[in-house]
Structure 1
């Protein structure tokens, strides 16, 4: 009998256009050989041009989804994305408080198209989640809202500072771990407007590789390569920030 796929639970919002959120997470986990489960926090009406509406699910129902997955299927890793509001964020943190498996937290605040997905009250709960997480993956504006690299470092938060939103021909991602030298990845920028869901995809890919037993740096390296291949394989859909080509990537 072949080895069963590692179980990855995604706690995040749905993207009706399929490029980001739960849809990107499921595609990524599946393509990387994992078994994807979901606890949906919110549903959105959106496309490549922006978000038209958001309906946040109740904290109790989000918790019920988490409990249902964990009590029956089990889990080897968790990925957290869009949370919707502070009450949902709190119940998620409570459910994950003592979970003995890797947790990757993508602190989603603003979409690629510029739509705000987290208010101030929700962001205040992020510190609790960052303390629980194996890794937090903020982009440039998210890192600034969270207080900057120095602030997170002083709190002992493990994070990957993503550089895709910075200017310049190179993209630099910096892994900061308490008590260890920084690890930096730097590669030429892939110039494309089809970047919808890059953060969701990266975090889910890292979580999947961690679920498979990879060390953190190796998980990040493989996840970054998956994102780059998916960017190259973008199908060209939409008139705004288009989706990537998850289905075209063939990587271990």
Structure 2
């Protein structure tokens, strides 16, 4: 027999349906927890956990000292990943936004000679503490943040070249594949590992969402034709704001 979801999950779905029917509109405050509990015959604890669940999913938003509100609607953007788009040079994000009639922009910050953490060292195949070039990106659609990326490249790979800083120089913003080609490295493969997670406080602040909101995390690593990792990145996209599409050619 299929196990029933816990009471708070069932009540969360009840609230979700009432919101979808526009009983409460975006920006509107929900009744108090005590009133909802009395009206629906559940405990305050069930209402609280149901609201926390919907806040994490981006359906509701909490305001300290004020109450719980229906989250303002934000269009979900489509992010397409495909082999062909890796050769385009510029990050595919801008083309994705243009296809949706939106203006794609980004803000970035690069830090040179940052010691590799144990995790980053493993992913790049270098020693812990070896220097890396770290670049943090915030991608925006019509001025609203929808994606965060933190990229790491081995410092020894690009040191002394014109492409050491991803967002400055003659190939600023050209992307990993194009920049590596400039220094004689052929990028032959990219590996991406998506998984579900929850936004921590710093991510939530940058993305304009609630802490704990469901996000998709993608661990991406580029490899050269000799199998060497040349860049690895952590990508964070709120599930309620981004839809990820993977497209692959079919060989006949």
Same fold flag (TM > 0.5): no
Which TM bucket (shorter chain)?
under 0.3
The TM-score, its normalising length taken from structure 2, stands at 0.22
The TM-score, its normalising length taken from structure 1, stands at 0.22
Structure (1/2) with the larger strand percentage: 2
